[in-house]
Structure 1
């Protein structure tokens, strides 16, 4: 494929099987290719042969190859990364600095130490992916086997989003059909081109391309040849994919999620109002607050909320100077202006409410005493809501339990652990410190489930004279 293609086509695939397509964003257009409707059986056969080669590769060699690619991509002056950053800025509207910071975080999780930590956490011994290994609990041996082919349907505009899922599939020696996200289509193919230079067997285990959401024929063809399906998107989009998955297929989804932060009086006293505000501003500014990991609201207990909110306004201004926010399209700008008007009306109607904002739409801080319905955030809006006690927080967010994901918990001592326990039981899958909401590790069990071992089946050898004890 041409260097600027948004598709990655394995080197074994005959170009006669490919149909060109164009992805458009405003005045910009990116081109790629995908298999024709009748050619997916040939794709499946090629992926079967690719997996035979992949199975022969030791898992530690896979880790080394991914690490080598991540090392190159970690450099901001790496030409393929620079092209991806420019193109992603055009499509998403995010500033290049915002995208670079996102890639810094994502690529850091793909280094060897991080990958091995994730494997060891979920599998104990990573080499169970290579063959039978002694298992003392079994008094025998065990072996982990990944799916033959994973179909991954990506969505969203977070730069580098496909990297973790792609690498997880390769670690369990699965080939992949990747439907790239229309909102950020350039990263996957560019990353795979570098991977091909480092280790062709890995890159040739992946077909990355695009088809429209309403292209049922292509979706059905790709789904037919998958043993596992991983879906990203809103609740409705994920439900539509889930309905197509067969009982013989592993299914994993990352649907609509909500995240929030909370800080206690003791936490503010320990770290100071200005530092706590800085951390809140970081969480509300990272990725322009577009990720599921971003907070929709920050709850501040006791009497500190007004002081914290005032300092958050200052910190949001400084954050915007340090890492400029992106451009906002007309629809989002209208929504944001409406949110500001509602917040200003509420502030004028209450004794404790207040609103601070930039002259433009770069950032907004709202102080309120009521937790309004949570439906998502975006565009650097820091909502600070005063609550009486930390013990009240769980009951306040209980209506959103099904969608809760990531919580920044600013608390100390026993109060921290009591609240963390309550949040875990409620359904939260990650608790972190304020200022760290967007900085997730590869070892995190994404949305509360194991994302490496969840792709595996196992074979045990026990009660046999040949078994290793």
Structure 2
């Protein structure tokens, strides 16, 4: 067992409508899952509810005197390329969500008796905690996690140690839409599937208090250095002057770096940032370059960023905003809105979160961070059947 881990194991009744796994197909699937290299780690339950152990884990991760916290902070800084002060704030904010009431609200027997495999993709560095906790709270007998090869350090600290085998009958996979399609097509009989694919967020400004709105949007951009599926990829301003807002955002991003300092950039990210800045500096109506950020103002919405606090701003009317959300609805995980939002919740084809600006990167512990319907998830009668469309 690894130092600092908490061991527990629970056995729920096996699902009656779960077909046995075909060994040959399971071997093929295991080969596919192992292509990226790296170890897999097991977390199991030893009581009627996983909540006490998860609450204890969250307390340990918050405790300055616990060596597990020190290990976790080192792992988060490395996995997420985060400044150490940023990593500490992120860990405190994430673990604060783990309360008895929150965990009780998530408890179910939806995955009763299932051996769950979680295949993680590179994302915000704290994501493995929720990815492990949710299947346990849904009744899984065990959860085996395979971290992204780019973020191998934090997830093992949350588990009991190396998995003795790779057997599973429910797969939760995070990754590109193409990866999820390949995995789903390769499932052996009896294995259900839950896929969570590519997504991004938008910041929407519908108020005229630009200084306050910019401070909130700057926080959403700065958390995790804009690396997660809830990170805004563009700012849309309606009903006011987008250039005036961008001026305030330029100042706000400089100021927020004092409390959420940016982390290091590797060569690949640095090259992507330089390319993005070069293109947008040449094509934008106006371009701002700060010590650790850049802003490009365009006359039409331009979505897409390498992360690392680089963002576009554009002005649209309400009709244009609605059309933009409809067009990108399948891939929109969230809208962070400064101003009224009821009309945005009703846009056809959009099923992501709608939250107040400044809270995009602090999702409630009410399920997955990404609340869009999972690909392939169709568990019958609270137990689990074959995945279907």
TM-score for both structures, normalised by structure 2: 0.81
Shift of 1:3: 4.0
> Equivalent residue for 1:386?
315
Q: What CA deviation, in whole Å up to 9, does each residue of 1:9-58 have, x standing for no partner?
A: 999xxxxxxxxxxxxxxxxxxxx8669xxxxxxx9xxx9xx77xx4xx22
Correspondence list, 1:3-22, <5 A: 3=3
State the superposition RMSD in angstroms. Answer: 3.1
**Matched residues in 2 for 1:90 and 1:167: separation?**
22
**Matched residues in 2 for 1:304 and 1:407: separation?**
20
> Equivalent residue for 2:15?
none
Correspondence list, 1:345-424, <5 A: 345-347=282-284, 353-359=285-291, 362-372=292-302, 374-387=303-316, 389-412=317-340, 416-422=341-347
Rg: which structure is higher? Answer: 1
**Matched residues in 2 for 1:375 and 1:208: separation?**
38
1:334 aligns with 2:302: no
**SS in structure 2 opposite 1:322?**
coil
Correspondence list, 1:164-175, <5 A: 164-171=130-137, 172-175=139-142
Shift of 1:408: 1.0
1:188 aligns with 2:155: yes
> Equivalent residue for 1:123?
none
> Equivalent residue for 1:435?
358
Shift of 1:103: 1.7
> Equivalent residue for 2:224?
287
Cα distance, 1:66–1:399 mapped onto 2, change above 3 Å? same
> Equivalent residue for 1:73?
61
**Matched residues in 2 for 1:454 and 1:168: separation?**
16
Contact kept, 8 Å, 1:147 with 1:227, in 2: the verdict is no
Contact kept, 8 Å, 1:166 with 1:176, in 2: the verdict is yes
Q: What CA deviation, in whole Å up to 9, does each residue of 1:278-299 have, x standing for no partner?
A: 0010011110000010000010
Cα distance, 1:90–1:309 mapped onto 2, change above 3 Å? same
**Matched residues in 1 for 2:213 and 2:323: separation?**
24
> Equivalent residue for 1:112?
100
Shift of 1:247: 4.8
**Matched residues in 1 for 2:321 and 2:238: separation?**
9
Shift of 1:105: 2.8
Query: 5+ residue gaps in structure 2?
Result: 10-37, 384-389
**Matched residues in 2 for 1:33 and 1:232: separation?**
17
Which structure dedicates a bigger proportion of its chain to helix? 1
> Equivalent residue for 1:99?
87
Cα distance, 1:450–1:239 mapped onto 2, change above 3 Å? closer
Correspondence list, 1:29-428, <5 A: 54=46, 57-59=47-49, 62-119=50-107, 129=109, 146-171=112-137, 172-192=139-159, 203=160, 207=162, 222=166, 225-264=167-206, 267-268=207-208, 272-347=209-284, 353-359=285-291, 362-372=292-302, 374-387=303-316, 389-412=317-340, 416-422=341-347, 425-428=348-351
Query: 5+ residue gaps in structure 1?
Result: 12-31, 36-42, 120-125, 130-143, 193-202, 210-220, 348-352, 460-469
**SS in structure 2 opposite 1:426?**
coil
**Matched residues in 1 for 2:130 and 2:189: separation?**
25
Cα distance, 1:277–1:439 mapped onto 2, change above 3 Å? same
Cα distance, 1:443–1:450 mapped onto 2, change above 3 Å? farther
**Matched residues in 2 for 1:450 and 1:113: separation?**
25
Shift of 1:300: 0.1
Shift of 1:411: 2.6
Q: What CA deviation, in whole Å up to 9, does each residue of 1:350-396 have, x standing for no partner?
A: xxx2111124xx11122221112x34541011321111x12321212
Cα distance, 1:440–1:34 mapped onto 2, change above 3 Å? closer
**Matched residues in 2 for 1:34 and 1:357: separation?**
42
Q: What CA deviation, in whole Å up to 9, does each residue of 1:169-206 have, x standing for no partner?
A: 222142122112222222222223xxxxxxxxxx4xx7
Cα distance, 1:88–1:346 mapped onto 2, change above 3 Å? same
Shift of 1:335: 1.6
**Matched residues in 2 for 1:377 and 1:426: separation?**
26
**SS in structure 2 opposite 1:383?**
strand
Aligned length: 353
**SS in structure 1 opposite 2:121?**
coil
**SS in structure 1 opposite 2:307?**
coil
Contact kept, 8 Å, 2:168 with 2:191, in 1: the verdict is yes
Contact kept, 8 Å, 1:263 with 1:411, in 2: the verdict is yes
**SS in structure 2 opposite 1:428?**
coil
**Matched residues in 1 for 2:68 and 2:309: separation?**
29
**Matched residues in 2 for 1:455 and 1:234: separation?**
23
